[in-house]
Structure 1
Amino acid sequence: MDISIIIIGLIFILIISIPLYLVLNSSKIDQKQIDSLFAQYSQNNRYRFQLVASHQRKALAMDAQNRGLLFMDFNLKEPYVAFQDLAQVESCAVATANPLGKSNLLKKVEWIFFSKCGTTPDNGVIFHDADKEYIVPVYAYEELKLAEEWQGVINKHL
């Protein structure tokens, strides 16, 4: 009887520890990717990014002193990274796109940055695009709410 209880206990430990190990390992890999992207986009240590927020494998990092923004999306097969120099930006807005005739579906959510000296050709950061293949399923309306929350953070630092 004692051996059966020990075997059942070991099985429960395995059932709990294997998923926990996998989750911790994936977050460790994400953190390594974030650190390497911070180093890559620091522009010879001009920017010192600090993670402001992260949600659903998306991360937003800022350097409030030197006014730099780094957006990272790890939900795609190849991570999407966008850098924006906030010293050249006057304001930020969230823009959405819907398929023709379907106002209840969101196809695209992006941040539009308005420059101090007019509109620049590369003034948007794509937050969600339904045409891209995501590894983890993402939902457009949750992404829209998240983009609007982070828009407030960005506008606060402008």
Structure 2
Amino acid sequence: MSVQTPSRIHFFSWHTKVSLELPVGFEEASESPEVNAAMYADDLDEDDPLGGRVLVRASAVPDGDETAWQRLADESAGLPGRETVWRRDLEVDGLDVRMQLLRYAQDDIDVEVVRLEAFAQAADVVFSITGLAPADRQDEYVPGYEHAVTTARFVLL
């Protein structure tokens, strides 16, 4: 009988109300209850090479603003210097989601990065999942970020 080693680990934040799976090696880096955010990373040690980061947020929007999630995706993709590699609309956990992959120069660390973003909205809350990685490691990180988005659960209490 062979035992398979898990390739993913499950995370949940009470502040974001989002549950997701990330590749083994990621750890919770921080939680910010004041802005309903959680950060996960796989390069927490100083000796680690520059790796991946995932930021999950839950943001309140005004009642009746049902397209805030789409507008946020459009505004992020439209920032100067960002190239949209691809964009997809899908359904995750019963919510419409816009997922997009962007590429740009991250000037503060002098590195070209890829940014996988996903936005969803339930009533007056926009959920965002953002995965960042060095562009030269895109093939290593983006599939894991896509998995995190497609397996996300939005816990609406």
What TM bracket, shorter-length normalisation? Answer: 0.3 to 0.5
Larger radius of gyration: 1
TM-score, structure 1 normalization: 0.37
Q: Which has the higher helix share?
A: 1
Q: Which has the higher strand share?
A: 2
Structure scoring higher RCO (CA < 8 A, sep ≥ 6) equals 2
TM-score, structure 2 normalization: 0.37
